[in-house]
Amino acid sequence: MFKVGLTGGIGSGKTTVAGMFAELGVAIIDADVTAHALVAKGQPALLSIQHTFGDSILQTDGTLDRAKLGNIIFADGRQKKRLEAILHPLIYANLQQQIDALKVSYCIVVIPLLFETNMRHFVDRVVVVDCPVECQIGRVMARDQHRPEKIQAIIASQVSRVERCAKADDLIDNSILPQKSLAEQVKTLHNLYFRLSMRHCR
């Protein structure tokens, strides 16, 4: 199996681009979706979180109080590390299980924090969805109604645009006026990944 990691900063367009690969029939596995599923009510990861952060991290219906947990880890780097120590190994192990169950020559694994978690080795190739920071902020503000300062703080907590692009094998330009349309860029890369996956399985 040839694994392509798809990453990019907040609001850069990862989910949009992954949807375009999916339309071409490519298998998509998503770390955000996986992370959500792992902390569903009754899951072992949620019990670990409860054990670490206390019962008040749960809502009355027993589900995770995401806003509360978000505020705790945003305010305290040590707490963020404790949460990551619980979740990251479980997420990557679960991603690998999903990959192992696939019967395709290549898949796209959407991993927003691929570089931040130092997991470049998890995939065979990396595609970065890129756009200017102002564009990220504008799109996330429109989508989530967050204040710009909050989005800027999240961007500051991620690797820089320069570092991310330097580490990419392939770049997808998702700025407002890209050189080539998103669909064209995705199609070109799909052809490349298919060819590489054929070589990979030989």
Ligand X SMILES: Nc1ncnc2c1ncn2[C@@H]1O[C@H](COP(=O)(O)OP(=O)(O)OP(=O)(O)O)[C@@H](O)[C@H]1O
Among 2, 4, 5, 13, binds ligand X (CB under 6 A): 13
CB 152 within 8 A of CB 36: no
Structure tokens at 80: 């963020």
CB 1 within 8 A of CB 105: yes
* Residue 14 binds to ligand X (criterion: CB under 6 A): yes
* Residue 50 binds to ligand X (criterion: CB under 6 A): no
Among 2, 3, 6, 10, binds ligand X (CB under 6 A): 10
* Residue 15 binds to Mg ion (criterion: CB under 5 A): yes
* Residue 31 binds to ligand X (criterion: CB under 6 A): no
d(CA 28, CA 189): 15
Measured from the CB of residue 153, what is the shortest distance to ligand X in angstroms? 14
First to last CA, the chain: 11
| Nearer CB in complex with ligand X: 19/89 | 19
Residue 143: contacted member of ligand X, Mg ion, none (CB under 5 to 8 Å, by partner type): ligand X
Residue 161: contacted member of ligand X, Mg ion, none (CB under 5 to 8 Å, by partner type): none
Q: C-alpha angle 81/83/89, rounded to 5°?
A: 95
Crossing angle (nearest 10°) for helices 133-144 and 148-157: 130
* Residue 16 binds to Mg ion (criterion: CB under 5 A): no
The secondary structure of residue 200, as a DSSP letter, is: H
Nearest of 46, 93, 91 to residue 66 by alpha carbon: 46
| Nearer CB in complex with ligand X: 14/164 | 14
Amino acid of residue 7: T
| Nearer CB in complex with Mg ion: 8/39 | 8
The footprint of ligand X on residues 149-178 (CB under 6 A) is 174
Binding site for ligand X (CB under 6 A): 8, 10-16, 112, 139, 143, 174, 182
